[in-house]
Structure 1
Amino acid sequence: MYKNKTVNWLACFSLLSLCLGVAQAAVSPQEAEALKGKLTPMGAERAANADGSIPAWTGGFTQVPAGFQNGHRNVDPFAADKPLFSITASNMQQYADKLADGVKQLFKDNPQTFRIDVYQTRRTAAAPQWVYDNTFKNATEAKLEGDGLIVKGAYGGVPFPIPKTGLEVHWNHLSLWRGESTHSKYKVWTTTADGKQVLATAAVDEAQYPYYYKEGSVATTPDPEYMLAIQATYAPAFRAGEALMLHSGFDYVKGRTLWQYLAGQRRVRRAPSINFDTPNVVASGVNFIDENFGGVGSPERYDWKLLGKKEMYIPYNDNRLLAHSDQDVMGTRHAKPEMMRWELHRVWVVESTLKPGKRHAVPKRMYYYDEDNWGSAIMDGWDAEGTLWRTSMTTPFVAPDIPATVNYCTSFFHDHRTKAWVYNCALGDAGNDQYSTAERRRESFFSPESLTNQSAR
């Protein structure tokens, strides 16, 4: 059961708005005042839940560890915490109402090895004050146009901190706060059902987020891009020298722009077909492009229905993954349970179903978005026969120097049919380059000409 009558009203309003094809208006100034009291500055419920198992939000986690060096994320600030209890295949039903279907399937498929260790809930999500200030402005000014594919009137904060539709929640996820400019070095591992581990990609990623340039505004930057990124592959050997460049903005009527550099061709080319359910070459085709990072790319092929909010066990504050080598993290059919931290959090629940006349290999998905940082925590997907097929789980980590709880990075994907799985954006082997803030580059750095020059070197 979902949480209250307000949630049910929101779901009906969401469905009606989408069916009518109307633009979703911003909330009233009176509603926005909740961001200064009842709600956190980012739009989550500020208060604890009824029994205190989810504490009140008190500002997030902004305490930078002594001796911290930029790029070092291998210090777990909560290493002394012990599990409150564990969920196993034998007691799963006791907690079933707080588990996603994909997580339940992992218990069924791996009854002897899969386990969830539940820890004290720590509401670590935080952002600078200027992000909070922009979020407050967005609440009364941001709106959706173009059947929900265009965001207008938002800048530098959560676009829709008091969401009324499923698409608004999803846009919050796409544009979530994770810093202004970042650098990371990561690996993508695929594992077969029999436990064979294969390095699919090792890459360096340079990214920045014009939407979050501190000095900007809606007036000066009316159509910002929420991500510019270049991924340069250096291993395995047969893929070394490849590169991808992405420009993602707030207008999916125009579409996002992606370029690809193939070392053998020695040129950069537009790659509009790398989208939706295109097999993801970065993960050797085990998952689809739009399953990365909890769901990316245009939402145009689906109808999005806001079902409300509920309490769920989700991966959270998983700095432990960064403090251990990738090999230490990976088990045979899933991550080793002792390496994962799960917590109870409130999540927004959104169902996406394929629009009539549209095509996608996954016609139905359920998303669970963390209320505090807006990132998609778990995404389940069903096939055309209604059988649960695919599950993605993000594993956010604390970065108090930014400050942020970074959601768009480390994650896991499971194919319930083949039992193959992916450890995506693994940072345990990255040394000093796990996830660092970086000096903002000229935006010309993220141009096809620049990509050609970088790749040729």
Structure 2
Amino acid sequence: MITKNSLRRFLLMLALTSASMAMAAVTPEEAAHLKTDLTPFGAEKAGNADGSIPAWTGGYTQSAANYKQGDKRPDPFAAEKPLLSISNKNLDQYADKLAEGTKIMLKKYPAYRLDIYPTHRTAAAPQWGYDNTFKNATTGKIDVATEDVSGVYGGIPFPIAKNGAEVLWNHRLAWNGGDTFTSSFDTWLMTSGGKKVLATQTPFFYQYPYYFQEGSADKFDGNYFQGKLLTELPASKNGEGLMVYYNLSPAKRASWQYLVGQRRVRRLPNIAYDTPNFVASGVSYFDEAFMLFGPSDKHDLKLVGKKELYVPYNSNKSVLVPSDELVTPNFLNPDHVRWEKHRVWVVEATLKADQRHVVPRRTYYVDEDTWQIVLVDGYDAQNKLIRQTWSLPYLAGDLPALTTQFMWGTYNIDTGAYVHGLSSNDTPVHYARTSRQPSSFFTPDAMAGESSR
């Protein structure tokens, strides 16, 4: 006789089995598309119907003839002129190619506009990254409930993504040009009253053990990102330090802060979610940094599909002007922001019933060629769009890479304030690869020693 309890257990086991199947890697037949009609990272290789999005032909893998590593990279498309400009006067004509937050910004500010340039599919990576991505396609697995990832290394984890969680993991583990980087960055706050304020100036060192070329999935400990920053300015924050580890199992993430007044390092439990980001003076949230920082398990993730959208892209021109020319009241100066039409994956994030977050709904727009998030629309509890997070993807053909690892920020649409994070407009180096550091470099004791000097 089948009892209610036994039936309930059977249904639960069936549900768990179905979830496990949903987490399985793709078949070899599906993965084979990465060598035919898809790019090695999983984007559609062909262009769109009207030719406004060209076919991918290998990306951009060159640098200017006189470029030296560490120099400011030029804008390879500086001679191009906009194809069109979108403002609040003609936005209805292009509404189907605009994110909701972009439309609201255009409606609110008559001076805000998008200059649309020819589309260049510049995303590229080394062959070993493509080879690893091909392996990951048939070995990568994800537990959607915990966001734990396994069976991947050194490439896009889910190039043929089946759900929203896989798409966001592709962003976290995207190719950004190498394994170790350093630079000095400024984080600017533009107040609602139109005053530009330096929130922090920070030498920042970050490393991606996931992309150590000699490694492999079976030997990898899961710590895919290590970052350390030491604040220099403003003077009131001088010496403060922050260090983070992120893992393929989000529960194993760790973070520490060095507090000058206390002269000690403390373990931080909450460098994630909607905790105000103290690096940005609390104007943005930690999970808006780098477009997505930390876990997203408070939200249910739905992969809506793919669409054509106008997004910031190939944005070298944005970083080649002084910050005073770029960071202007209410929004970045449209004269210095390049927009292009690209295909993006759309992921809807909706707060789970038993969770709390000040931004209960978000829409992520993820570039198909790089798997990096380029825009995010954020809604409040009344379903009002209140925030838009954006990145200015930067082209480094010498690496090669198109990266969103610096030059990103968030507009507070209600107040008109915004933050422009990891700006290198006023620094001598934009985005430089550097020597790999030993694990001892990323320890609380090492950070305390550097911060207290």
Same fold (TM over 0.5): yes
* Equivalent residue number for residue 4 of structure 1: none
| 1:346 aligns with one of 315, 330, 343 | 343
Alpha-carbon distance in structure 2 between the residues aligned to 1:443 and 1:372: 32
What secondary structure sits across from 1:311 in the alignment?
Answer: strand
* Equivalent residue number for residue 85 of structure 1: 84
- State the shift of 1:274 in Å: 2.6
What secondary structure sits across from 1:134 in the alignment?
Answer: helix
Please tell me whether residue 197 in structure 1 is matched to residue 193 in structure 2: no
Over 3 Å counting, the alpha-carbon distance change for 1:189 and 1:19 in structure 2 is farther
- 1:284-337 CA-partner distances (Å, limit 9, x unpaired): 111111111212211110100000000000000000112111111122111111
Please tell me whether residue 448 in structure 1 is matched to residue 447 in structure 2: no
> Does the 8 A contact of 2:190 with 2:328 survive in 1?
no
Identity %: 48
- 1:255-290 CA-partner distances (Å, limit 9, x unpaired): 411100111111111111232111111111111111
Alpha-carbon distance in structure 2 between the residues aligned to 1:193 and 1:133: 48
Alpha-carbon distance in structure 1 between the residues aligned to 2:347 and 2:294: 16
Write the mapping of 1:201-220 to structure 2, written as runs, cut at 5 A.
Answer: 201-220=200-219
Over 3 Å counting, the alpha-carbon distance change for 1:169 and 1:91 in structure 2 is same
Alpha-carbon distance in structure 2 between the residues aligned to 1:26 and 1:374: 18
Alpha-carbon distance in structure 1 between the residues aligned to 2:296 and 2:248: 11
* Equivalent residue number for residue 58 of structure 1: 57
- 1:225-269 CA-partner distances (Å, limit 9, x unpaired): 2210101110011001111001011101x2411100111111111
* Equivalent residue number for residue 305 of structure 1: 302
> Does the 8 A contact of 2:196 with 2:328 survive in 1?
no
* Equivalent residue number for residue 392 of structure 1: 389
Give the structure-2-normalised TM-score.
0.94
Alpha-carbon distance in structure 2 between the residues aligned to 1:323 and 1:89: 27
Over 3 Å counting, the alpha-carbon distance change for 1:19 and 1:82 in structure 2 is farther
Alpha-carbon distance in structure 2 between the residues aligned to 1:257 and 1:103: 34
Please tell me whether residue 404 in structure 1 is matched to residue 398 in structure 2: no
> Does the 8 A contact of 1:148 with 1:167 survive in 2?
no
> Does the 8 A contact of 1:375 with 1:407 survive in 2?
yes
Alpha-carbon distance in structure 1 between the residues aligned to 2:15 and 2:64: 46
- AA aligned opposite 2:128: W
Alpha-carbon distance in structure 2 between the residues aligned to 1:71 and 1:36: 34
* Equivalent residue number for residue 7 of structure 1: none
- State the shift of 1:224 in Å: 2.7
Over 3 Å counting, the alpha-carbon distance change for 1:19 and 1:380 in structure 2 is farther
* Equivalent residue number for residue 286 of structure 2: 289
- State the shift of 1:352 in Å: 0.4
- State the shift of 1:98 in Å: 0.8
What secondary structure sits across from 1:235 in the alignment?
Answer: coil
What secondary structure sits across from 2:219 in the alignment?
Answer: coil
What secondary structure sits across from 1:234 in the alignment?
Answer: coil
Write the mapping of 1:95-244 to structure 2, written as runs, cut at 5 A.
Answer: 95-111=94-110, 113-145=111-143, 147-178=145-176, 179-221=178-220, 223-244=221-242
Alpha-carbon distance in structure 2 between the residues aligned to 1:344 and 1:227: 30
Alpha-carbon distance in structure 1 between the residues aligned to 2:317 and 2:146: 38
- AA aligned opposite 1:363: P
- 1:174-202 CA-partner distances (Å, limit 9, x unpaired): 11111210011110111112211110011
What secondary structure sits across from 1:189 in the alignment?
Answer: strand
Alpha-carbon distance in structure 1 between the residues aligned to 2:190 and 2:380: 22
Please tell me whether residue 437 in structure 1 is matched to residue 433 in structure 2: yes
The worse-fitting range, judged by mean Cα deviation, of 264-273 and 50-59 is 264-273
> Does the 8 A contact of 2:73 with 2:396 survive in 1?
no
- State the shift of 1:146 in Å: 6.0
> Does the 8 A contact of 2:272 with 2:293 survive in 1?
no
- AA aligned opposite 1:346: R
Structure 1: gaps (5+ residues): 1-15
What secondary structure sits across from 1:246 in the alignment?
Answer: strand
Give the structure-1-normalised TM-score.
0.94
Report the number of matched residues: 438
Alpha-carbon distance in structure 2 between the residues aligned to 1:233 and 1:210: 24
- AA aligned opposite 1:421: Y
* Equivalent residue number for residue 357 of structure 2: 360
- State the shift of 1:152 in Å: 0.5
The worse-fitting range, judged by mean Cα deviation, of 419-428 and 162-171 is 419-428
Q: Whose Rg is larger?
A: 2
> Does the 8 A contact of 1:369 with 1:378 survive in 2?
yes
Write the mapping of 1:258-297 to structure 2, written as runs, cut at 5 A.
Answer: 258-297=255-294
What secondary structure sits across from 1:269 in the alignment?
Answer: strand
Over 3 Å counting, the alpha-carbon distance change for 1:206 and 1:175 in structure 2 is same
Alpha-carbon distance in structure 2 between the residues aligned to 1:18 and 1:454: 48
- State the shift of 1:109 in Å: 1.4
- 1:56-84 CA-partner distances (Å, limit 9, x unpaired): 00111011111212222341111111101
- 1:118-163 CA-partner distances (Å, limit 9, x unpaired): 0000111111100000000000000102625100000000000000
Write the mapping of 1:25-36 to structure 2, written as runs, cut at 5 A.
Answer: 25-36=24-35
Over 3 Å counting, the alpha-carbon distance change for 1:281 and 1:307 in structure 2 is same
- 1:17-45 CA-partner distances (Å, limit 9, x unpaired): 99964351100000000000110001110
Alpha-carbon distance in structure 2 between the residues aligned to 1:242 and 1:153: 37
- AA aligned opposite 1:279: P
Question: Aligned-residue CA RMSD in angstroms?
Answer: 1.5
* Equivalent residue number for residue 331 of structure 1: 328
